[in-house]
A and B are shown apart, each in its own frame.
Chain A
Amino acid sequence: MDLNFLINLGAFTGSGICIALGAVGAAVGTGITAGEAVNSYARRPEKSKEIFRTMLIGQAVAQNAGIFALVVAIMLLFVDFNNGGNPLIVSSALLSAGICMGMSALLSGYGASLPATEAVKSISRQPLVDSRLFTNMLIGQAICQTPSIFAMVVSLLLMFLKFDQSGVVLPYIGALLGAGLACGMGGMGSSWGGGMAGGACCQGIGRNPEASGPLFTSMLIGQAMSQTPAIFALLISFLLLFKGFGPEDNNFVVLLAMLGAGISMGIGGVGPGIGNGMAAEGAVEGVSKRSDETSNLTVTMLIGQAIAQTPAIFAMLVSFLLIFKSFTPEQNNIVMMMAMLGAGISMGFGGIGPGIGNGMAAKNAALGIAKSPEAGQAITRVMLIGQAVSQSTAIYALMVSLVLLFLI
């Protein structure tokens, strides 16, 4: 039977998923920005020109991720991908490219519109610093965009690289789907979190323009930290893309291990990305209230973020173990397959809650220090105790994953 129809099946399904998911975030986010711009007009009609300019450029930048998704969707529809490769592998690569770009654009578009929303609000509050707000908005947005650029790169690689040189099919299907999931989902939290920090910075400048220097610095540090899960995800995605497979790997166990690796890092990165963003949001808001406590707040933010990062590191560890695990021929059975998939799912989903929870604790700790700096030591101590307890479920998930990996 001619299997070439599979290539179109994968490409068209991927295209639909890509633009369906990718359009949502940017549309919602830029709509909210427009709403706030109208509110700001009503408050300060004399600044309508500046508000309009900031809104329009902010929206254009937030729309970026949606445009990436559109480009990938159109390429999937109209480029001829029949490069002589195995149709099953090409098909799963194209589906994965669509999922990767769509997932990433979903929250990248929304995240990048948060700084724009806060910037147009703040112009009506502090009309004198409109150019400062404009610059800050653009830099904050640029950093939220990073995960969607990663996703674009991975999508292009998935579309245009040729993967099966040796007639091996099954492991490539899992690895390519896993690569798309890891990079697409792993960046979602990072872009939202980066957007929270950028939004808080624009809001803070509107509240306290004298502190715009320290606000900008703490925003950048916070955003850089919340970008980490996206970088972990890119790393896992590249490992999955460029790992070669031999004839001994041509079985379903390796397929599901690779898919599990993608799920673990992809879903496991979402929570820590959002949590780090919350911590940064709290610290930036704190700096806008007490700019004399900037160093104290930044240290608390960094400690809180380091702990919120832990589930992402666990997820990366499980992904590594799944990618580099070798199987004996007797292990080629359905029990082992589901154990590998289960290991990925356990750590992936298990990282969401602790990541977000730790971020909440760190956010309130930073806000608390801004309110009463003299209680800083007690606040940091209690934050750490609370985060340790919240971390325990991530450790349970890691334990279940390791049991599934090594004891079955």
Chain B
Amino acid sequence: MIEINGEQIVQAAALLGAGFAMGVGAIGPGVGEGYAAGKAVEGISKIPQEAELLTRTMLVGQAVSESTGIYSLVVALLLIFVV
């Protein structure tokens, strides 16, 4: 059988945690940003001359929504490389 010591258990848990952090953490931003994109194209179909403003607003909104995805990425990388 394989030998297991405490340090290995900690590292193993950190790697599994990294997978969960990034995996589950990606759900929200993915859906949210898609929703924003959907509403932006809906707006453009109503007022095509405001396309630029709508695109800008969509991108700002998506950037904010992206932040939690980036937090997940940072936590996952911390768990992999630092812990």
Binding site for B on A (CB under 8 A): 251-252, 271, 275, 332-335, 337-339, 341-361, 363-365, 367-369, 371-372, 374-375, 378-379, 382-383, 385-387, 389-390, 392-394, 396-397, 399-401, 403-404, 407-408
A346 touching B76 in the complex, CB below 8 Å, given contacts A335-B8, A382-B51, A390-B37: yes
Do B30 and A332 touch (CB < 8 A)? no
Q: A355-B30, A375-B48, A386-B34 are in contact. List 20 more A-B contacts (CB 8 A).
A: A251-B2, A335-B12, A338-B15, A339-B12, A342-B18, A349-B24, A357-B33, A364-B38, A367-B42, A382-B44, A382-B54, A385-B59, A389-B62, A389-B66, A392-B66, A393-B25, A397-B26, A400-B22, A404-B18, A404-B19
- Write the B20-52 contact mask toward A (1 if CB under 8 angstroms, else 0): 101111111111111111111110111010010
Residue of A nearest to B12 (CB): A338
Smallest Cβ distance from B57 to chain A, in angstroms? 11
Do A385 and B34 touch (CB < 8 A)? no
Do B37 and A379 touch (CB < 8 A)? no
Do B58 and A382 touch (CB < 8 A)? yes
Do A374 and B26 touch (CB < 8 A)? no
| Interface band, chain B | 35 or more
Binding site for A on B (CB under 8 A): 2, 4, 8-9, 11-13, 15-20, 22-42, 44-46, 48, 51, 54-55, 58-59, 62-63, 66, 69-70, 72-73, 76-77, 80
Of A347, A348, A386, A390, which is within 8 A of B41 by CB? A386
A372 touching B46 in the complex, CB below 8 Å, given contacts A334-B4, A345-B19, A393-B69: yes
Of B30, B46, B48, which is within 8 A of A394 by CB? B30
Pairs A–B under 8 Å by Cβ, sample size 30: A335-B8, A335-B12, A339-B12, A342-B18, A346-B20, A349-B20, A351-B26, A353-B29, A353-B32, A356-B31, A357-B30, A357-B33, A357-B37, A360-B35, A360-B37, A365-B38, A368-B44, A378-B51, A382-B44, A382-B51, A387-B37, A390-B34, A392-B29, A392-B69, A396-B72, A399-B73, A400-B22, A400-B23, A400-B77, A401-B19
